[in-house]
Amino acid sequence: MNASQAHSLDPEILREYDIRGIVGENFSFDDMRAIGRSFGSILASRGGKTCAVGYDGRLTSPQMEAALVDGLCKSGIDVVRIGCGPTPMLYYASATMGVDAGLMITGSHNPSEYNGLKMTIGGKSFFGDDIRDLGHLAASGDFVDGNGTSKQLSIFAEYVARVLQDYSGQKNLTVAWDPGNGAAGDVIADLIKRLPGTHHIINAEIDGHFPAHHPDPTVEKNLDQLKALVADKGCDLGFAFDGDGDRIGVVDGQGRVLWGDQILVLVAGEVLQDQPGATIITDVKASQVFFDEIKRLGGNPLMWKTGHSHIKTKMQETGAPLAGEMSAHIFFKHRYYGFDDAVYTAVRLLSVVAKSERSLADMRDAMPHMLNTPEIRIDCAEARKFSVIEEVRERLKDRPGIEVNEIDGVRVTDEDGWWLLRASNTQAVLVARCESASELGLQRLKDKLAAELKILGVEAGHPY
């Protein structure tokens, strides 16, 4: 132990899937330097020597990048610095440049005052116990010492060309794009110059203040500007992106949102034509429509835990060519590298529409229609949330007339449809969702869920 190098990180920033905090409150440049020392030491202990580093468009990201690189180099790691861009560009660099690890400085879809870090080693997510071990190592100061090097290398043009490589289609579409002032802005602006069709883009300038709207396309109000652009220009469809470009928002020509599971069904058809019977993975929050449609298309639908790190790991275990979450992380291993890339997903969905006689709106209308709640977040103390799930699970285990899936929380299916209750891995909340074919069925499901929570003294509140 080297007490002079020991550095305690706020436990709140060491999350399940990544590191994330509020700069100036619980996360500092010195913290990032210590994270670099710790990650570099872990990488060296696993036989690694090189890594790629990228950063998003947040105001603090350049300084965070400098601190991280300094820490990595002091632990003997040679760093390739790819500059500002979306997280999938960093993943692309990690997959193609022969480096041992990849580190992306990003606050993802969080407000502007946040920043953080997403990490991979050997193409696998660095999460869970890995992140906890990193925190312990920082606190001990037991770092590997070395003199690593750093160099700048732009892969922007190569990444855009690779994303374009898998576009195909005959129709010239009119498309709206909203990068939301996030890190994908420059990539999208360059991409649409090279795609066929007519393209309209707003909020393309990378701006860490996010002046147009919050950079989270899974919240429908953040798509208002995109919907207005689609209507104004008569577009066939529109795309939005989160702050670091690994999550996608999609609206059809009528301005209606397609959610993560619907996007996944639409891009799965082409994959399953190439690989009949292949496994397609989604998380526990997905609609029953996903599972039914993937079976209809000749695939093997698999339900798994929520969280991009869990999904990536399951893809590697099963060899699945495609996966996705309700949070609109979409992962293509089919013709690609298996990481979540919203820019690439947009190109693949564009290809599907451009090769079809139907519009995206027609495709959406052709899907079975279900009624479901949005994702409902119920406040629950951090120390209590997992025990609530255990108590509900225990109470349900011998109840007749229901099917209980326990992969991630409890997903309960009965004659009315299904309801889900799981503990968030990142917040002091329980996450709930219900789905039914009818209004009455949906209300009964919400009542059943609220009743289970009431027994435990948890108030479901609005929208119940």
pLDDT digits (tens, 9 = 90+) for 256-288: 999 999 999 999 999 999 999 999 999 999 999
Work out the burial of residue 90: count CB atoms within 10 Å of its CB; fewer than 13 is exposed, 13-18 middle, 19 or more buried.
Answer: buried
Strands (E), 164-236: 174-178, 198-201
Specify the domain boundaries for CATH 3.30.310.50 within the chain. 371-455
CATH number of 11-154, picked from 3.40.50.2000, 3.40.50.150, 3.20.20.80, 3.40.120.10: 3.40.120.10
Q: What pLDDT is recorded for position 426?
A: 75
Work out the burial of residue 194: count CB atoms within 10 Å of its CB; fewer than 13 is exposed, 13-18 middle, 19 or more buried.
Answer: exposed
User: For the chain, how long is the longest CA-to-CA vector?
Assistant: 67
CATH fold, domain 158-366, is Alpha-D-Glucose-1,6-Bisphosphate; Chain A, domain 3 (3.40.120)
CB 417 within 8 A of CB 399: no
| 94 has catalytic annotation | no
Which tens digit of pLDDT belongs to each residue from 68-91?
A: 999 999 999 999 999 999 999 999
Which tens digit of pLDDT belongs to each residue from 127-173?
A: 999 999 999 999 999 999 999 999 999 999 999 999 999 999 889 99
CA 172/CA 7 separation, integer angstroms: 56
382 residue type, one letter: E
Separation in Å, CA 7 to CA 82, 239, 330, 337, 408: 27, 42, 36, 36, 34
Tokens 């409890």 locate to 410
DSSP states of 299-318: -EEEEE-SSHHHHHHHHHHH
Q: What pLDDT is recorded for position 463?
A: 46
In this prediction, residues 407-423 reach a mean pLDDT of: 96
Specify the domain boundaries for CATH 3.40.120.10 within the chain. 11-154, 158-366
Please check the confidence at residue 464 and state whether its pLDDT lies above 60.
no
CA 329/CA 217 separation, integer angstroms: 11
Q: What pLDDT is recorded for position 397?
A: 87
Tokens 């301005």 locate to 255
371 residue type, one letter: L
Closest CA to 311 of 290, 331, 288, 293: 331
Q: For residues 117 and 455, which has the higher predicted lDDT (pLDDT)? A: 117
CA 38/CA 142 separation, integer angstroms: 8
Q: What pLDDT is recorded for position 2?
A: 57
* Sign of the dihedral through C-alpha 463, 415, 259, 278: positive
Query: Which residue out of 38, 75, 94, 108 is catalytically annotated?
Result: 108
Confidence of residue 428 (pLDDT cuts 50, 70, 90): confident
Which tens digit of pLDDT belongs to each residue from 391-404?
A: 999 999 889 999 99
Paired with 57 in beta bridges are: none
| CATH number of this structure's domain 371-455 | 3.30.310.50
